[in-house]
Structure formats: C-alpha cells, structure tokens
Chains A and B, each alone.
Chain A
C-alpha cells in the first residue's frame, strides 16, 4: 500500500507516512460527515431545519457564500497578474491560488444548492432567467467561473506522476497551459461582474437604507467596492493559507520575493479600497441618508449588539491597519506583521460581507419595527463548516499528490 501511495507522490517531494495522512483525513472526515448529515437533513426535511424567517431570508449561508467568494478572489486576481499583466514570479504561487479559488467557489455553489431549498430546481435560474436580477448575473458568472477554475485546476491534476505518464493527459496539460491566458482573462472578466453584482444586490435595495448606495448607471458604489475588496483581500487569504501549510508541513514552499510581491500589490489594493470605502461611508452619511430621514447613529444604536465597534473593526482594524502594514516594505518583510496583516484583512472583508448581508436585515426600516436578531440552527452551522472540512481535505490531497509548489524541491534540498 505504501509503495502504491509513494508512486503517486511527485518525485523529490517528502511527505508524511500514509498512516499519518489517513489519520489526519479521518479526523477531518468526521467533521465533513457531520456537515453532510446536516445537509441531507435540509434536503430531505426542508428549510424548516434552519432558523431563517421572514426577517432573515438571507442569513449565515449567504454571509459564508459572500465571504468565501471574496476570499477566493485571490485566484482571479493572481491569475490576472500572472497571465494578463505578466508578473512572472507569481507562477510559483498561482497553482495554490487556483486550488483555493476552486475550493471557495465549489463551496459557494454547494452552499447555494443547500440554500435554495429545492436543489432539483436549481437549473431554473439558467432556463427561466430573470434578466432584471443581479442574482441571475451572479449565478451565471459564478457557474462559468467555476468551470474556468476547474479548467485551471485540471492541468495540475494531470501533472501527477502517474497521470502524466499517459501521453494524452501529458499533452493536454501542456496545451491547456499554452492557452491559460485566455481562460485567466475570461475568469477575471467573470469575477469582476459576479463580485460586483454581489455588492450590487445590497446597494440597489432602496428599501434598506443601511445598504442602499447611489452609483453610476445601474451599478451602485457597492458593486465596485465588492470587486475591489475581493481583489485586495483574496491574495491575503492565499498568503495566509500558504503560511499555514508551511507551518503544518514545517517546510518553506514559496520564496519570500513571491510572497512580498503579492503582499505589496494586495497592500496597495487594500489601501486604495479603504480610502474609497471611507469616502463612500462619508458620502452615505452626509448625502444619501438625510433625504431619507435617517441619521447615521440610527444604524449603530438602540440595540444590544451592533455598535460603532463593527464599523471600526471593518474599516480601521480590518482595512486601514493591514493596508498600512502591507504597503510598508519594512513591516511586511517582518513575518509576524505580515501574518497579522493578512489575518486582519481576511477579518475585515468577512465583517464587510456580514454587515452588508446580516446587519442590513437586522435594522428596522419602518416606524413600528424593532431590531431583529437571528441565531443560526446547528444544521446551518454544520453546513457552513462542511466546506471548511472539504477544503482541508482537498488541500491535503492536492499537496500530497500534486506538484503545487514549483519551488518546494529547491527550497527543501
């Protein structure tokens, strides 16, 4: 069994024993099965298994969906930088970014398949498309981009030592690499629109003054802010997971100059995004809200949970602070500061998606309404953790059997 396992491991790569690996997968597998059980309960018994109600049509799942899509943005942005803009150093991290993107987008689709309640009718959105809905655009772009990510992931699978021995797959992998720029450009185009449209969904809700924003033509400012923040924070997630896998495997997998380049670009993207977000918030407070009869503090007071702290957490701690660290060469070259910065950026973008989805629904909009709160059921929590377990398993399998990191051999011999 051990020799069969070794035959599938890329040459020159050192991996843990098969026993250690299967033990690790088994532990994560228990969490995975717990999520699958909850998922089956929801599919068999229906959405009554959740704590969603008339106030919360969008809840934990949609937040998780938006967050993983934003964090998976590292794939499209790194792909754009590598294949279209020509940042060649990023070839050493693009494989991992693609795997993370693949996991994030497949997770997003899985969550949506659970959330729609009737998954057998999932194809209705393509066949009976409501062409006036931003969510239709999201569904189209999400599905197409997932196909693109699968195409970007396939050549890596074909590079497994045993699969690579088959001439057809060897050639196919080469030929796919040759035209990858076309797929990467298509992916960037699709990502721009679905990331944007997810923000647009919140921004066009004029019945929800907390989320509503003005904008250009049909696109509210949130359309551009969501794309911008995904491009800024997605690579931070890639860096964070690279550091995590290096810590677990006790190996250096990517050279510092590659991480530094990605961190620097992320820093400038995050800095410009944070400035845009602050301008957007000021404009919303002084120009958008007053004609609607609202005051800024209406959204952050008279309730037991949502205060100004969440805005500070999102914009200052999760935006300005990591942007400052990542822009400064001296700070981002320090491993501890870099780790803190990427974690804060991940928290920042996740909080942004939370406030735009969940806080927006908590706030009363009519005079006779009061703040409404929601606690997810265990089934919702389990199905939200399910993609995390699935992601860990897929990364573990990919790391063990595929040549994800081209610099691994050089850095560890």
Chain B
C-alpha cells in the first residue's frame, strides 16, 4: 500500500507497518543492486584488462 492509495491514512500504524516494509525492501533492493552493479563493473574491468 502506498500513500496515494485511497485506503491510506496518515496515522502511526500505517507509517510503522508500511514504513518497516519499505525499509526492509529498500535494504534488500539496494544490497542486490550494489552486488549486480559491482559485478558488471568487475567483469567489464577484467575484460578491458585482458584487451590491454
């Protein structure tokens, strides 16, 4: 549920519950994004080194 959905109410339960969900999903998402991006960079660096 997002704040723009009609059921959303700006109260503590909504902010805590949904905030915790987004927080956890953000950590997971950012962690995986970091790993994938770093892997792509590592692989492309290695390929560049091999060409040289």
Contact = CB atoms under 8 A, between A and B. Distances in A.
Interface of A: 126-129, 131-132, 136-137, 140-141, 144, 147-148, 151, 167-168, 171-172, 175-176, 178-179, 182-183, 186, 189-190
Contact of A144 (B5, B28, B36, B42): B28
Contact of B14 (A126, A131, A148, A175): A131
A179 B1 contact: no
A250 to B, nearest CB: 38
Nearest to B38: A175
Interface of B: 1, 5, 7, 13-14, 16-18, 20-21, 24-25, 27-28, 31-32, 34-36, 38-40, 42-43, 46
Given A127-B5, A172-B36, A186 B28 contact: yes
A190 B24 contact: yes
26 contacts: A126-B1, A127-B1, A129-B17, A131-B13, A131-B14, A131-B16, A140-B24, A141-B24, A144-B24, A144-B25, A151-B28, A151-B32, A167-B46, A168-B39, A168-B43, A171-B38, A171-B39, A171-B42, A171-B43, A175-B34, A175-B38, A182-B31, A183-B31, A186-B27, A186-B31, A189-B24
Given A179-B31, A182-B27, A182-B31, A128 B43 contact: no
Contacts of B5: 127
Nearest to B9: A131
Given A140-B20, A171-B39, A183-B28, 9 more contacts: A131-B13, A131-B16, A140-B17, A147-B28, A151-B32, A168-B40, A171-B42, A175-B35, A182-B27
3 smallest CB-CB distances across A and B, nearest first, come from A131-B13, A171-B39, A172-B39
Contacts of B20: 140
Contacts of B35: 172, 175-176, 178-179
Given A183-B28, A186-B27, A137 B17 contact: yes
B46 to A, nearest CB: 7
Contacts of B34: 175, 179
A75 B25 CA distance: 19
A222 to B, nearest CB: 20
A129 B21 CA distance: 11
Contacts of A147: 28
Contacts of B38: 171, 175
B17 to A, nearest CB: 4
A190 B24 CA distance: 8
Contacts of B7: 128
Which of A132, A175, A190 has the largest number of chain B CB atoms within 10 A?
A: A175
Nearest to B35: A175
A133 to B, nearest CB: 9
A126 B2 CA distance: 10
B28 A148 contact: yes
B45 to A, nearest CB: 10
Which of B5, B17, B28, B46 has the largest number of chain A CB atoms within 10 A?
A: B28
Contacts of A190: 24
